[in-house]
Structure 1
Amino acid sequence: MTPDYHDPAWLTQSIAERGIRGTARYCGVDHTTILAARDRLGIARPGETPDSAAELLEYLRNRPVPTGKPSKAKAAIGRKYATELIGCDLQYPFHHEGAFEVFLGLCELFDPDGVTLNGDTWDFPYLSRFRQNPLLRNDMQADIDECRDLLARINTASPRSKKRMTVGNHDLERFTNYLYEKCPPLAKLRVLQAFDAILGLPEIGWELVKEGYWLNHERGLRVGHGTAVTNTQGGGSAQSAKKEMLKWSCAGVTGHTHRLGAFYRKDPAGYRVWHEGGCLCDQKKMRAARVTVHTDYDACEDWHLGCILVTYHPDGDAYEIRDIPILESGGRTFALVDGTEIAA
């Protein structure tokens, strides 16, 4: 038989007798030429039936395309989740005016079930033991009255929400320590122990919570000012949240550090997360008054403007805690929420 690798009968017999490379040598061509001719002529490979390659190609062309079953997850109809907007460390009169305006805008946007100012709403620097600018205004009554005007603006921005204020180390603690150290005979006066009345909170619809509170149920999600602080060299953001979680063994939101951050944990006790809530104070104002660690005007504290939105089930364990950073750029103060800009 004359060698002709274009002839399927001859090529089939030659491959069976000589193999691919032997047939190529016999024909004086490269072995890839013989492979291409074999595939072009549909000659079966060893172990294949003559029609298997064609059948495979036909299957690949016509195999069914999956459409995908719809998700079984559905929106929980009729299940009521509540929301709480939490701002920390306003430090009046050292509040950040732009950040506070953004906070008001968030009150209007979310229309939350509750609004909490989470400690150190007032700074009361003149009650502090630390050295400060002697030109600093020393008028506690004026600070109380002016800050109450800010609380009234929150009432206007979020009229239906429950208003709560936790105490911190700069407001009630400084006031109490001052009484104990400077005028102990007055410390037992009941009128001076009613701190909410001194601040004028009841008549404007605000509740003072001295020890923090449980947002959904006891041992569920705790809101309080906090006491733990970790400096930047020790890790900074979220490290204080870790300390608070290990202290309380639950989920929660605290202020005190002036930072945003979150620490997550999953163990045999379940899933939980603790958030640091940032701050609403102006570090430049505080440095000018010499009430910060760094008093150089061009220094930068590792503080983060922002607040927290909690979505939770009032009678269950389900919750979501969301950081909302408040940004400063180009002389503007604003927050971004799901593509919407809330600007001062």
Structure 2
Amino acid sequence: MKRIVVLSDMQIPYHDKRAVKNVLTFIKDWKPDGVASVGDDLDFPMISRWTRGMAGEYAGDMQSHVQQGRGFYRRVREVHAGPIHVMRSNHTDRPMNYLRQYAPGFMGYEALTFPAMMQFEQLGVTYHEEPWEIAPGWLLAHGDEGGQNRTPGGTALGLARRWGYSVICGHTHKLGLQHDHDVVNGRITRHRYGFEVGNLMNMKEARYLKAGSANWNQGFGLLLVENRRVTPVPVVIHANGTFTVDGTTYGV
């Protein structure tokens, strides 16, 4: 059986350090066959449209944030020798979007792309610009490729219905699994899942939330692949950063 860990939105430097540390320990202990990220690994608040012309744009802290992101993927590589895949996302699109709008002369300069900033090539990380088939009949996406649904799993299922694949994604910060199966004469003729893997953010750092309130769930995802059969497994992360997989609790 092939086992894949799917990481959720971290939005460094707003990540939950306890939860992220526990996930890294889990990866080292569980020894998956692959690790993937749905994207939004970094937030890039300094080049967000929300900070344009404000103090945040002039903070000068991009290098620090990128170094934190590199440090995370170095730690992933230290505990995992297998494939690592990262999906494009709206937050990690921000550097190119900012250049395109305000400094187009730098477009095409490879060093300013997100994969180059993160040193993915040196780390053996594969970056995907388009939805990628992570397992038989399953696409890894970020989740911003279509409209959002307030129900956990609903955004992913909407993409699954559009694309004809099961979809595992992030973006919504919700942890949820929905399905859409067709059955005739007691036989499944088509099945699709929509799987959203939650987030690894520290909500106290998300100061743009009114009263720090949102319908979010910390978590990440697992895909268990046996031949062409894929079993999706949501992993709930509790408020203290702990979670349990296969009877073992991480972070105690």
With normalisation by structure 1, the TM-score equals 0.66
Counterparts of 1:86 and 1:98 in 2: how far apart (Å)? Answer: 18
SS in structure 1 at match of 2:231: strand
Structure 2 counterpart of 1:334:
242
Structure 2 counterpart of 1:197:
116
Structure 2 counterpart of 1:277:
197
Deviation at 1:205, TM superposition (A): 2.1
Higher helix share: 1
Counterparts of 2:63 and 2:241 in 1: how far apart (Å)? Answer: 29
Out of 288, 303, 306, the position equivalent to 2:216 is 303
Out of 227, 236, 239, the position equivalent to 1:325 is 236
Deviation at 1:283, TM superposition (A): 1.6
Deviation at 1:131, TM superposition (A): 3.6
Structure 2 counterpart of 1:216:
135
Counterparts of 1:209 and 1:258 in 2: how far apart (Å)? Answer: 20
SS in structure 2 at match of 1:101: helix
Structure 2 counterpart of 1:170:
91
Matched, 1:207 2:126: yes
Counterparts of 1:185 and 1:324 in 2: how far apart (Å)? Answer: 44
With normalisation by structure 2, the TM-score equals 0.89
Matched, 1:243 2:158: yes
SS in structure 2 at match of 1:93: coil
Out of 168, 180, 185, the position equivalent to 1:253 is 168
Deviation at 1:197, TM superposition (A): 1.7
Structure 2 counterpart of 1:187:
107
Change in 2 beyond 3 A, CA 1:338/1:216: closer
Describe the superposition over 1:203-234 as per-residue Cα deviations: whole angstroms up to 9, x where unpaired. Answer: 122221121310234xx111111214536xxx
Counterparts of 1:154 and 1:249 in 2: how far apart (Å)? Answer: 32
Change in 2 beyond 3 A, CA 1:205/1:189: closer
Moved more, 95-104 or 196-205: 196-205
Give aligned pairs, total.
Answer: 244
Counterparts of 1:229 and 1:91 in 2: how far apart (Å)? Answer: 21
Matched, 1:138 2:45: no
SS in structure 2 at match of 1:215: strand
SS in structure 1 at match of 2:222: strand
Counterparts of 1:139 and 1:205 in 2: how far apart (Å)? Answer: 26
Provide structure 2 residue ranges, at least 5 long, that are not aligned to the other structure: 184-188
Higher strand share: 2
Counterparts of 2:44 and 2:56 in 1: how far apart (Å)? Answer: 14
Checking the alignment, whether the CA contact within 8 Å between 2:158 and 2:194 is kept in structure 1 is no
C-alpha RMSD of matched pairs (Å)? 2.1
Checking the alignment, whether the CA contact within 8 Å between 2:110 and 2:116 is kept in structure 1 is no
Describe the superposition over 1:116-149 as per-residue Cα deviations: whole angstroms up to 9, x where unpaired. Answer: 1211101101111014883684322221112211
Checking the alignment, whether the CA contact within 8 Å between 2:153 and 2:196 is kept in structure 1 is yes
Change in 2 beyond 3 A, CA 1:121/1:262: same
Counterparts of 2:44 and 2:241 in 1: how far apart (Å)? Answer: 26
Out of 36, 42, 50, the position equivalent to 1:122 is 42
Structure 1 residue identity aligned to 2:122: E
Checking the alignment, whether the CA contact within 8 Å between 2:182 and 2:190 is kept in structure 1 is yes
Q: Report the identity percentage.
A: 25
Structure 2 counterpart of 1:54:
none
Structure 1 stretches of 4+ with a deviation exceeding 6 A read none
Deviation at 1:190, TM superposition (A): 4.6
Say which one has the larger Rg. 1
Matched, 1:147 2:102: no
Deviation at 1:278, TM superposition (A): 0.5
Counterparts of 2:66 and 2:111 in 1: how far apart (Å)? Answer: 16
Checking the alignment, whether the CA contact within 8 Å between 1:102 and 1:342 is kept in structure 2 is yes
Provide structure 1 residue ranges, at least 5 long, that are not aligned to the other structure: 1-80
Describe the superposition over 1:156-207 as per-residue Cα deviations: whole angstroms up to 9, x where unpaired. Answer: 222x221111110001x21111011101122133544x53222211112222
Checking the alignment, whether the CA contact within 8 Å between 1:254 and 1:277 is kept in structure 2 is yes
Checking the alignment, whether the CA contact within 8 Å between 2:172 and 2:196 is kept in structure 1 is yes
